[in-house]
Amino acid sequence: MSDKSPGELFDLMRDSLALWQEMVDHLGNHCEYDEKGSTVVTLQSGAAGRLKSHVRDHTANGIKAEFLTDGFASLEPELSPDVAAVGWWPQDTQVQPMRACFQIAQHLKRQGVAHRLYDSVAGLAANAAGVDIRLANGDRIAAGRVVLCTGVWTAGLLAPLGIHIPVIPRKGQLCVLERGPVAIRTKIADFAYNETVENADPSDSAVQTAAIIEGTRSGTILCGSSRCFAGFDLSLDDAVLARIMADCIRLVPSLAARRIIRGYAGLRPYSIDGLPIIASVDEHGRIFTATGHEGTGHGLAAVTGRIMAGYFGGTTHSLAVAVSPARFAS
Ligand SMILES: Cc1cc2nc3c(=O)[nH]c(=O)nc-3n(C[C@H](O)[C@H](O)[C@H](O)COP(=O)(O)OP(=O)(O)OC[C@H]3O[C@@H](n4cnc5c(N)ncnc54)[C@H](O)[C@@H]3O)c2cc1C
The 10s digit of each residue's pLDDT in 1-41 is 999 999 999 999 999 999 999 999 999 999 999 999 999 99
Determine the Cα angle at 175 with ends 151 and 298, to 5°.
35
Ligand 1, atom 22: closest residue by C-alpha: 297
Nearest CA to ligand 1 atom 14: 295
Beta strands in the chain (DSSP E): 38-42, 66-68, 85-89, 121-127, 130-135, 140-143, 146-148, 167-177, 187-190, 208-215, 221-227, 260-271, 277-280, 287-291
Confidence band (pLDDT; 50, 70, 90) for 194? confident
Is ligand 1 within 6 A of the CB of residue 155? Answer: no
**Predicted pLDDT at 196:** 77
Query: How far away, in angstroms, is 193 Cα from ligand 1 center?
Result: 20
Beta carbon of 170 within 6 Å of any ligand 1 atom: no
Q: Whose CA is nearest to atom 35 of ligand 1?
A: 150
With a cut of 80, say whether residue 305 has pLDDT above it.
Answer: yes
Query: Does the Cβ of 2 fall within 6 Å of ligand 1?
Result: no
The DSSP string of 24-38 is HHHH---S--B---E
What spacing in Å lies between the alpha carbon of 140 and ligand 1's midpoint? Answer: 25
Mean pLDDT rounded to a whole number for the chain = 96
- Give the pLDDT confidence score for residue 246 in this predicted structure: 97
* Measured CA distances, 21 to 16, 65, 189, 214, 302 (Å): 9, 19, 23, 20, 9
d(CA 288, CA 310): 12
CA 248 to ligand 1 centroid distance, Å: 24
CA of 16 to the centre of ligand 1 (A): 17
Q: At residue 314, what are phi and psi to the nearest 5 degrees?
A: -85, -170
* pLDDT of the residue at 181: 87
Q: Rounded to whole angstroms, how far apart are CA atoms 290 and 329?
A: 18
**Quick one: pLDDT band at residue 235, thresholds 50, 70, 90?**
very high
* Mean pLDDT to the nearest integer, 73-102: 96
Residue 54's CB: how many other CB atoms inside 10 A? 21
**Per-residue pLDDT for 187 more than 90?**
yes
What's the rounded Cα separation, in Å, for the pair 205 and 169? 12
Q: Is the per-residue pLDDT at 70 higher than 70?
A: yes
β-sheet with 38-42: strand ranges across: 66-68, 85-89, 38-42, 187-190, 208-215, 221-227, 167-177, 260-271
Average pLDDT over residues 295-309: 97
Assess whether the C-beta atom of 135 lies below 6 angstroms from ligand 1: no
pLDDT digits (tens, 9 = 90+) for 53-63: 999 999 999 99
Of all protein residues, whose CA lies closest to atom 33 belonging to ligand 1?
150
Which residues, 6 or more positions from 189, have their beta carbon under 8 angstroms from its beta carbon? 2, 3, 38, 39, 40, 41, 210, 211, 212, 213
Q: Given this model, what pLDDT does residue 200 score?
A: 83
Give per-residue pLDDT as tens, 88-119: 999 999 999 999 999 999 999 999 999 898 99
| pLDDT score of 330 more than 70 | no
Residue 36 · residue 108 · CB < 8 Å:
no
From the CB of 226, is ligand 1 less than 6 Å away? no
Answer yes or no: is the C-beta of 264 below 6 A from any ligand 1 atom: no
Residue nearest to atom 27 of ligand 1 (CA): 151
Domains of the chain (ranges, CATH numbers): 27-98+168-271 (3.30.9.10), 119-166+273-324 (3.50.50.60)
- Interval 178-203 mean pLDDT: 89
